[in-house]
Amino acid sequence: MKIVLTGGGTGGHFYPLIAVAQAINDLVTEKKLVEAKLYYLAPEPYDTHLLFENQIEYRRVSAGKWRRYFSLRNFFDAFKIIGGIITALWQLYIIFPDVVFSKGGYGSFPTLVAAKILGIPVVIHESDSLPGRVSLWSAKFARGIAVSYPEAVNFFTAYQDKVALTGNPIRRELLSPISRGAHEFLNLDSNLPVIFVTGGSQGAAFLNHVVLDILPNLLERYQVIHQVGNDNYDDMEKRSRVILEKVANHERYKLFAHLNSTALRMMAGVSNLVVSRGGSFIFELAVWGLPGIIVPIPESISHDQRNNAFTYARSGGAIVIEQVNLTPSVLASEINRLMSDEKLREKMRAGARAFARPDAAKAIAEEIVSLALTHEL
C-alpha cells in the first residue's frame, strides 16, 4: 500500500499531514494490514526530523504561487508550476501510489494535477472555514473531501455524498497536555498565572511587538511564555532585553523561537490563557480546552483567518480582536478582563472542548486506507 501526502509549505499544512500519517501507521498495526509506504511531495521537506520519525520519504516537487493581484512574480512562478507538474507526473508514475492525500495550498497543486492525469484516487482536507482555490478545484475529482469547519461544507454542496466534517488532524503527541513537572521544565513559578503568546509556526511580528509594549505591565501579575518563530527570535531577544533591563520581574518572561511537542504539551498543562493568530493552532486550543484571544491575520493578507477566528469564537472558546483594533491598551485590557473572571474562563474552556474533534486524524486515515485497499484490488 503506497500513499502520497502533499500540501503547502506552512506548519498549518504540514503538521496535519504528519498527524494523518501517524494515524495511518496506527491503523495498519491495529488491523494487521500490509505495511503502508508513505511519501511526501512538496517544494520543501519543512521538517526532516518528523518525516524520518514517521517513516515518510520526501520527494521534491517545485510549485509556484498564483497571486490574485497583478505581479511579475506570477510570470516566473508559472514556470515553477509547469516544472512541478512535470516532476510530479514522473514521481507519481514511478511510485504509482494507491491514494494521494492533499492538505491543499499552492504546494499541492502540481501533485494533484499529476494525480488527476494518471487517474490516481485523491482525498483532500480543507483546514479553513473559507476553502482555498486548490481545494475547491480538486474537489471536482476527489474521492473524499474532509473539512475542519461546519461552514466549509457549504462550499462543497455539489459533492455532499463525499464530504465529511472531521475537524483538523492533530499529531497524537499533542493531544494530551502535561501538567506534572511542567513548571519545573519551563522554569515557571507554580503560584503565578501563565499567559502563552504565539504567532504560529512562522511567528507574527505585529503581534510580537504589541506584546512587548505591554510586557512590563503583564509581568507584574503574570508569567508570559512567548513563541516568536525562528525568523523573529534574534530581533525579539534584543528588543525584549532592552525593555526588561529595568523590570524587576524580568525572569517571568520566557522567550522561545519554537516549542517542541513536549514543551507545547507542558505549556498547555499550565497556561491560563492563550493569545494567538487564527490558523490551525485554533484546533489545538480546542483539544486542550484553553481560553483564547484570537488575533487573525488581516483579510488583505490572508482571506481565511478572520472567518476562522469568528467561527471558532461562536463556540465560546475564544474572543477575537481584529488586528486593526489591536493596540497595546486593548490587548492588556482584554487579558486582564479574562484573567480576572474565572467563571468566564471556565465557560470558555467548556466551549473549546465542545468544538474539539480529537479523532480527526483517525477518521481521515480510515477513509484513505479504505480507498487504498480498494484501489489495490
Q: Are 274 and 194 in contact (CB under 8 A)?
A: no
Q: How far apart are CA 344 and CA 257, in angstroms?
A: 31
- Concatenating the DSSP letter of every residue in 151-162 gives GGGGGGGGGGGG
Q: Are 142 and 162 in contact (CB under 8 A)?
A: yes
In eight-state DSSP terms, residue 202 is T
Domains of the chain, first to last: 2-169+358-376 (3.40.50.2000), 176-355 (3.40.50.2000)
In eight-state DSSP terms, residue 128 is S
- Residue 285 predicted with pLDDT over 60: yes
Q: How far apart are CA 318 and CA 310, in angstroms?
A: 9
Range in 8-22, 195-209, 273-287, 348-362 with the lowest mean pLDDT: 195-209
- Specify the amino acid at residue 250: H
Q: What is the pLDDT of residues 200-249, one digit of tens each?
A: 655 578 899 999 999 999 999 999 999 998 888 999 999 999 999 989 99
Q: What is the pLDDT of residues 301-345, one digit of tens each?
A: 776 899 999 999 999 999 999 999 999 999 999 999 999 999 999
